[in-house]
Amino acid sequence: MSLNATPRSNRLHVGVFGRRNSGKSSLINAITGHDTAIVSEHAGTTTDPVYKSMEIHPIGPCLLIDTAGFDDDGEIGSLRVERTREAADKTDIALVVFSQDEVAKDIAKTSDITQASDMELEKKWIDEFKEKNIPVIAVLNKSDLKGNTSAACDHIDRSTGIRPIVVSAREKTGIEQVFSELIRSLPEDFDSLSITGGIVEDGDTVMLVMPQDIQAPKGRLILPQVQTLRELLDRKCLVLCVGADKLDEAIKALATPPAVIITDSQYFRSVYEKKPKQCKLTSFSVLFAGYKGNVEYFAQSAAAIDMLREDSRVLIAEACTHAPLSEDIGRVKIPALLRKRIGQKLHIDIVSGTDFPEDLTSYDLVIHCGACMFNRKYVLSRVERACEQKVPMTNYGVAIAYLSGILDKINLS
């Protein structure tokens, strides 16, 4: 990965939702200007979510998510809807698509006051998005078909509380209005968060302790290191990168100590013991706890470690999927630290990727990785789930700092 590349996890995530055959895939193709998604007259063509990266001026890099219809049914259909819900957890802005012909049928149906509107399903999803503070843009697609688009817009407005944008994906009309509405609907904190936050000042000398152990990919740096390094360069910082075994030499080589030392969390204790007193200390994982999630909640939850007993249950969740290694921090090192503190019989489950339980109540603590592969919205949806179920949730770096007895001595933000 090049230093100036924008990881998919950092892009604005725009989810496209709607019933089967409402024209979601056609809309994405019209927005991107490419045949990104498969289009078919047969309902249910889209199964798993399809992700397409593109630039939208002046937003910048975006990720469009084409989802399966939320009205899919049957055993396989319910699995597709579940994947659609997972995509919703990653969504920063939701486009909810209505089909002109289907809305016309609903208008005709509800002319009989005894008949309920079919728009209830869309309203339910829209309400769920609003509850999660996800901006919603309604789109009336297939306006090229015969029908009264004004009446259709009125019907959608009455049924869902949102006035739709009129679009024809086939004729590519109304797309510029979609772009304009996306810009207007940007979340307030979009592009305002930084990895290093208030810990680093522009122009600071910053030392990065980056051990190249078995977990480091050959010939490359891991993503949090790359992203942090790029941000520091953008902030005109003087950056010195060293391995853990060269820390003493690196500090002696500097005329004045670095303002900040950012280390791999596994070396928290040893770096803390060697650093000059005036140096701020944090880790890549702790920085990402604030960048992707809620570092204050993670720090508060770390105290739950002291409440664990041998019959307790801990869930370790990592964003990326890879073959376990002998020095793996989530699968080997953190479990070893916990069992050394609590006891060897401590029950620890490990999940990766999107395999995160809906029900967390059987766990006494969740420990999440830095989540460099996820966008902030997705991580916060997991934090919210843990909070709602009153399950403490912390982060790899925060947990290691707590277990090392230095959580109150490092910089969280």
So where are the chain's domains?
A: 8-184, 205-287, 296-409
The domain 8-184 having CATH identifier 3.40.50.300: the answer here is yes
pLDDT given at position 47: 55
Sheet with 165-166: list strands edge to edge.
50-56, 60-66, 12-18, 93-99, 136-141, 165-166
Q: Establish whether domains 8-184 and 205-287 are of one fold.
A: yes
pLDDT value at residue 86: 92
Q: What is the CATH number of domain 296-409?
A: 3.40.50.11410
Dihedral Cα 336, 376, 227, 256, nearest 10 deg: -70
CATH topology of domain 205-287: Rossmann fold (3.40.50)
pLDDT value of position 345: 97
Instruction: Give CA–CA dist 298/309, Å, rounded.
Output: 20
Quick one: tokens of 97? 């698509």
Q: Are 260 and 206 in contact (CB under 8 A)?
A: yes
Strand 205-209 relative to strand 136-141, pairing: unpaired
- Rounded to two decimals, the pTM is 0.86
The parts of the chain modelled with pLDDT lower than 70 are 1-8, 35-47, 213-217, 321-326
Q: What is the 3-state secondary structure (H, E, C) of 318-359?
A: ECCCCCCCCCCHHHHHHHHHHHHHHCCCCEEEEEECCCCCCC
Identify the pLDDT of residue 36.
57
Token digits of residue 295: 């570092």
d(CA 45, CA 404): 52
